[in-house]
Amino acid sequence: MRFRYKCEGRSAGSIPGERSTDTTKTHPTIKINGYTGPGTVRISLVTKDPPHRPHPHELVGKDCRDGFYEAELCPDRCIHSFQNLGIQCVKKRDL
């Protein structure tokens, strides 16, 4: 998978899930334990190594705005899957 720059004018592609293969596609998923009720999930990119800092690349896709993903969680579901979520590169000169 290759992340895209905005100027390429193409989709960034979906982030594959941990268990994705060439024949079976999965999506990143979270499970909420010990809580039932409404909630909001907010996702951003951070650097790999501690101390984790905001990453300059941006999340793109449905429910993404300003590089963040945010969505309301269903109160009756403890598992939430993130489909059509991609990463868009930022040029060094735009940092």
pLDDT tens digits for range 23-39: 999 999 999 999 888 89
Kindly state whether residue 82 falls inside one of the protein's structural domains.
Answer: yes
Kindly state whether residue 30 falls inside one of the protein's structural domains.
Answer: yes
For residue 80, give the CATH number of its domain: 2.60.40.340
pLDDT value of residue 73: 87
pLDDT (tens digit, 9 = 90+) per residue, 44-63? Answer: 999 999 999 999 999 998 88
Which residues form the domain of 77? 4-89
| Mean pLDDT rounded to a whole number for the chain | 86
Kindly state whether residue 95 falls inside one of the protein's structural domains.
Answer: no
Kindly state whether residue 56 falls inside one of the protein's structural domains.
Answer: yes
Sheet holding 68-73, edge to edge: 39-43, 68-73, 64-65
The number of beta carbons lying within 10 Å of the beta carbon of residue 58 is 21
Residue 8 has pLDDT above 90, yes or no: no
- What average pLDDT does range 3-26 have in this prediction? 78
How many distinct structural domains can be found in the chain? 1
| Closest C-alpha to 15, from 45, 41, 39, 42 | 45
pLDDT value of residue 9: 64
Kindly state whether residue 84 falls inside one of the protein's structural domains.
Answer: yes
pLDDT value of residue 46: 96
pTM for this predicted structure: 0.74
